[in-house]
Amino acid sequence: MNFKLLFFIPVLLLFSKLGYAEIKLPRLISDGAILQRDIALKIWGWADPNEGVELTFEGKNFKTTADKNGDWNIMLPAQKAGGPYMMVFKGENEITIRNILFGEVWLCSGQSNMELTMERLKDTYPDIIKSSKNKQIRQFLVPDKYDFNNEHKDLDGGNWKEANPENLLEFSGVAYFFASELFEKYHVPIGLINAALGGSPVEAWMSEDALSKFPEAFDEMIKFKSQTLIDSLIESDGARQEKWYNNLNKSDQGLISGAEWFSKDVNDDDWQEMEIPNFWKEGGIEDIDGVVWFRKTIVIPKRMEGKKAKLWLGRIVDQDFVYVNGTYVGTTGYQYPPRKYVVPDNVLKAGENTITVRVINNQGEGGFILDKPYFISSGLDSIDLKGNWKYKIGASVSPLQGPTFIRWKPGGLYNHMIAPLTQYKIKGVIWFQGESNTANPASYFATFPALIDNWRDKWQIGIFPFLFVQLANFMEETPEPTESKWAELRQAQLQTLALKNTGMAVTIDIGEWNDIHPLNKQEVGDRLAQLAFRLAYNEKNTDTSPIPKKSDFQKKVVVLTFEFANNGLKSKNNKAIEYFEISNDGTTFFKANATMKGNKVVVWNDKISNPSIVRYAWADNPARANLISINGLPVSPFEVKKE
């Protein structure tokens, strides 16, 4: 008999039991946590079945026992705003949580416009970032994970971070400006739980039981419960992408060893010219997926020689590799981020210098986005890079089929990023999402309200404030009335206000036609804060965008009455009101005239004798829409039908 083995087995079991028996806290309840003030809180965690757990807080002891599954919780009486405090948990082990504050906790969710960090905004708000040190504004960044099978009890990572110039670069821009407004007004700690993921549709954030009411989305979630399917898609997507790029790089004439086109001294006499910024098609390149190389020669003054420089190249579709005088300075892998590169010391020379950009277009139309900054600068010296560039096609290949984007499938983000949060008390939610649902806006009329009901049901803290951002203006303007999926989705968002304790920030005046990620996140945060003042804190004198409240369809005219316009309405530029449309049949729309009186607007067109539908700002980018409140907030886009 192996006596050594007999001795080893009970020792192993002992250490295994001790390891399992240690009490554990959720990642949200950790150093630096901000807990919701003025409400009884459930502090929870896990331990060995039937293990005793004790919490010591502010000289008081709270005791409980884990159930047969190892779950335990302790109810902490409501606490006023303040801190820092410490909590000590004892079971078989001991855990001490330090630097705890009580204040207001807001969940910040949605897609990329909520996710977009202050890092992306550092050139827009440099002074704000420099002066951002505030130990009472903190963010917990939820890891981006999905799971279609199980609702997770805890997060895989994350910690609380205080606002300061270093940490702030990880904060959501919208959420930080929202928190700053709240803190300035109430001077209480503000905790932000940032659970957002770029590109995510609303269905990804809904629980399985909520999705069961939407058969198409529900069936897709059930389909992706198969790990075999997920693994095969990941493998096939990766193999397809690797094969495409390998073929592209082998085919690219600009990468031939010893004759690379990024070399400073390459002969570009036979290259053609194109005005930049521009799309390839407008520049004379038709139906190309693959690689096009661009080169520009500029003259650098002596005072810039050898100095570090900033090189901004707007935005490029899709991927770019950038060289200055043959020196590689950076790359960006997809179309949305701004191209901001640093040219190292000793690269720039007095006299002629070359900038070379290798642009890869996977599918669709490649090019350089208009109305973005293109320059190179050092100190006070700046050289505009717009104008003629030379170009040459490096390779033309078949388009690359896009990936499956498994992480965006229904239910996955809820299970891994939201379910672990639902025991953590919050004040409310701010939400910026919808762009990824514009392909089928009709479904959003039902799915978005269902998400709000779903989250309120899961949190079990009543009808908490749910504040959301209406889609900003985006894409090119249209001079005549037209159908718009973005406008239709805005209408779905507007109608979601029928749910109690919801608020909508209208942003059709602060978007950018050429960027789905507009930079003015401060105004977005401010407008959300105004909604919070009214809905979460019962402030009466707040600024809210007017919305249609009542419509009176008369012969030849429609009289509209607006809510949140008690002080009246006005034209932003003191010109005639634009962007109203009217229709007899709901199919053919005509531009309409409009006059204001107080909180009412009268709309008509002489060609329309029996109006049945009125629209306002019904376009992807209603940039000319100029009906605003007396306080300067834009009226929401809308469609009103005769009952």
pLDDT tens profile 552-582: 999 999 999 999 998 999 999 889 999 999 9
Averaged pLDDT, 382-404: 97
Residues of the chain with pLDDT > 90: what percent? 95
pLDDT of residue 19: 42
Residue among 634, 478, 638, 480 nearest 571 (CA)? 634
Number of domains in the chain: 3
551-558: long-range pairs with CB below 8 Å, 24+: 551/614, 551/640, 551/642, 553/611, 553/612, 553/642, 555/609, 555/610, 556/604, 556/608, 556/609, 556/610, 556/611, 557/602, 557/603, 557/604, 557/611, 558/582, 558/602, 558/603, 558/604, 558/611, 558/614, 558/640
Q: Would you say residue 164 lies in a domain? A: yes
For residue 235, what are the contacts with CB-CB under 8 A and spacing of at least 6? none
**In this structure, which amino acid lies at residue 136?**
Q
The whole-number average pLDDT for the span 83-101 is: 97
pLDDT tens per residue, range 162-184: 999 999 999 999 999 999 999 99
pLDDT at 3: 42
Quickly list DSSP for 388-405.
Answer: EEEEEEEEE-PPPPPP--
Task: Let me know whether 425 and 528 are in one domain.
Answer: yes
Residues 537 and 577 in one domain: no
Model confidence at 16: pLDDT above 50:
no
Query: Element (H or E) spanning 441, and its range?
Result: helix 441-459
CATH number where 631 lies: 2.60.40
Whether residues 477 and 609 fall in one domain: no
Residue 346, pLDDT > 80, answer: yes
The reply to whether 243 falls in a domain is no
Q: Is residue 232 part of a domain?
A: no
| Cβ pair 40, 78 in contact under 8 A | yes
Number of Cα atoms under 13 Å in the Cβ half of residue 138: 27
CB 295 within 8 A of CB 269: no
Residue 236 covered by a domain: no
Q: What are the strands, taking DSSP E only, across 514-643?
A: 547-553, 557-563, 569-571, 580-583, 590-591, 593-597, 600-604, 613-616, 627-629, 638-641
- Predicted confidence band at 9 (pLDDT cuts at 50, 70, 90)? very low
Which CATH number does the domain housing residue 381 bear?
2.60.120.260
Average pLDDT over every residue of 142-151: 98
Check whether 312 has a pLDDT greater than 90: yes
| Beta strands in 461-556, from DSSP E residues, in sequence order | 466-469, 502-505, 547-553
**Using CA atoms, how far apart are residues 591 and 603, in angstroms rounded to an integer?**
10
Q: Using pLDDT thresholds of 50, 70 and 90, give the confidence band for residue 243.
A: very high
Give the predicted TM-score (pTM) of the model. Answer: 0.95
Angle at 389 between CA 386 and CA 395, to 5 degrees: 130
Q: Residue 44 — pLDDT band, cuts 50, 70, 90?
A: very high
Among 502, 525, 544, the domain boundary falls at: 544
pLDDT tens-place string over residues 580-632: 999 999 999 999 999 999 999 999 999 999 999 999 999 999 999 999 999 99
Among 332, 418, 291, 312, residue whose Cα is nearest residue 373: 312
- Least confidently predicted of 17-21, 266-270, 311-315, 426-430: 17-21
pLDDT-derived band at 287, boundaries 50, 70, 90: confident
pLDDT band (50, 70, 90) for residue 459: very high
Residue 269, Cβ density class (10 Å: 0-12 exposed, 13-18 middle, ≥19 buried): exposed
Does residue 325 sit in the same domain as residue 205?
no
Question: Do residues 11 and 105 both lie within one domain?
Answer: yes
Please check whether residues 347 and 418 belong to one and the same domain: no
| 407 pLDDT above the threshold of 90 | yes
State the residue range of the domain holding 416: 1-224+409-544
**Statement to judge: residues 538 and 552 lie in one domain:** no
In a 3-state reduction of DSSP, which class is residue 167?
helix
R_g of the chain, CA atoms, integer Å: 29
Name beta bridge partners: 57. 60, 87
Query: In this structure, are 212 and 345 located in the same domain?
Result: no
* Helix then strand then coil, % of the chain, to nearest 5: 25, 30, 45
Please determine, for residue 539, whether its predicted confidence score (pLDDT) is greater than 50: yes
481, 511, 544: which is the final residue of a domain? 544
| Inside any domain, residue 147 | yes
Q: Higher pLDDT residue, 5 or 546?
A: 546
Residue 49 belongs to a domain with what CATH number?
3.40.50.1110
Give the max Cα distance, the chain. 104
The mean pLDDT of 478-489, rounded to a whole number, is 96
Does 244 reside within a domain? no
With bands split at pLDDT 50, 70 and 90, how would you rate the model's confidence at 18?
A: very low
Look at residue 76 in the predicted model and tell me its pLDDT: 98
Average pLDDT over residues 79-104: 98
Is the confidence at residue 476, as pLDDT, over 90?
A: yes
Residues 506-520: tens digit of each pLDDT: 999 999 999 999 999
Is 403 a member of any domain? no
Mean of all residue pLDDT scores within the chain = 95
What pLDDT does 21 receive? 63
DSSP letter, residue 48: S
- Angle between helices 173-186 and 521-535 in degrees, nearest 10: 50
